[in-house]
Amino acid sequence: MEQKELKEIVNRFDIKGTVNAVKPLGDGLINDTYKVCTEEADKPDYVLQHINNAIFQNVAMLMDNIVAVTSHIRKKLEAAGADDIDRKVLTFVPDKTTGKYYYFNGRTYWRIMLFIPDAVTKTEVTPETSYEVGIAFGNFEAMLADIPVKLGETIPDFHNMEFRLKHLRDAVAENKAGRVDEVKYFLDEIESRADEMCKGERLFREGKLPKRICHCDTKVDNMMFDKDGNVLCVIDLDTVMPNFIFSDFGDFLRSAANTSKEDEPDLAKVNFRLDIFKSFTKGYLESAKVFLTPLEIENLPYATALFPYMQCVRFLADYINGDTYYKIAYPEHNLVRTKAQFKLLQCIEKQFPAMTDFIKTCF
Binding site for ligand GN1 (CB under 6 A): 28-30, 55, 217, 219, 222, 236, 239, 262, 311
Q: Is 28 in the site for Mg ion (CB under 5 A)?
A: yes
Q: How far is the CB of 162 from ligand GN1 (least distance, A)?
A: 17
Taken in order 162, 309, 214, 219, is the CA torsion positive or negative?
Answer: negative
Cβ proximity to Mg ion, 121 vs 271, nearer residue: 121
Q: How far is the CB of 337 from ligand GN1 (least distance, A)?
A: 8
Q: How far is the CB of 4 from ligand GN1 (least distance, A)?
A: 27
CA 156 to chain centre: 15
Q: CA 277 to CA 356: how far, in whole Å?
A: 11
Beta-carbon-side half-sphere exposure of residue 110 (alpha carbons within 13 Å): 24
Q: Build a one-symbol-per-residue string for 63-102: x at contacts with Mg ion by CB under 5 A, - elsewhere.
A: ----------------------------------------
Name the DSSP class of 123. Answer: S
Q: CA 83 to CA 81: how far, in whole Å?
A: 7
Q: How far is the CB of 361 from ligand GN1 (least distance, A)?
A: 30
Helix, strand, coil percentages for the chain (3-state, nearest 5): 50, 15, 40
Cβ proximity to Mg ion, 216 vs 288, nearer residue: 216
Q: Coil, helix or strand for 230?
A: coil
Q: How far is the CB of 258 from ligand GN1 (least distance, A)?
A: 11
Q: How far is the CB of 217 from Mg ion (least distance, A)?
A: 7
179 binds, among ligand GN1, Mg ion, none (CB under 5 to 8 A by kind): none
239 binds, among Mg ion, ligand GN1, none (CB under 5 to 8 A by kind): ligand GN1
171 binds, among ligand GN1, Mg ion, none (CB under 5 to 8 A by kind): none
Binding segment for Mg ion among 15-23, 35-43, 202-210, 230-238 (CB under 5 A)? 230-238
Q: Is 301 in the site for Mg ion (CB under 5 A)?
A: no
318 binds, among Mg ion, ligand GN1, none (CB under 5 to 8 A by kind): none
Q: How many CB atoms lie within 10 A of CB 26?
A: 16
Cβ proximity to ligand GN1, 326 vs 358, nearer residue: 326
Q: How far is the CB of 56 from Mg ion (least distance, A)?
A: 13
Please, which of residues 234-293 interact with Mg ion by CB under 5 A? 236
Cβ proximity to ligand GN1, 9 vs 223, nearer residue: 223
Binding segment for Mg ion among 58-66, 123-131, 222-230, 240-248 (CB under 5 A)? 222-230
Q: How many CB atoms lie within 10 A of CB 87?
A: 17
Shortest-Cβ-distance residue relative to Mg ion: 28
Cβ proximity to Mg ion, 28 vs 283, nearer residue: 28
Q: Is 296 in the site for Mg ion (CB under 5 A)?
A: no
Q: How many CB atoms lie within 10 A of CB 361?
A: 9
Q: How far is the CB of 238 from ligand GN1 (least distance, A)?
A: 6
Cβ proximity to Mg ion, 30 vs 165, nearer residue: 30
345 close to 215: Cβ distance less than 8 angstroms: no
Strand 241-243 to strand 119-120: parallel, antiparallel, or no bridges (unpaired)?
unpaired
Q: How far is the CB of 155 from ligand GN1 (least distance, A)?
A: 6
Taken in order 188, 193, 197, 198, is the CA torsion positive or negative?
Answer: positive
Helices (H), the chain: 3-10, 59-79, 127-144, 161-174, 184-197, 199-205, 246-256, 274-288, 294-298, 300-320, 333-350, 352-361
Q: Decide: residue 104, CB within 10 A, 0-12 exposed, 13-18 middle, 19+ buried.
A: middle
Q: CA 351 to CA 105: how far, in whole Å?
A: 50
Binding segment for Mg ion among 64-72, 164-172, 219-227, 318-326 (CB under 5 A)? 219-227
**Kind and range of the H or E run holding 49:** strand 46-51
Residue numbers of the site for Mg ion (CB under 5 A)? 28, 222, 236
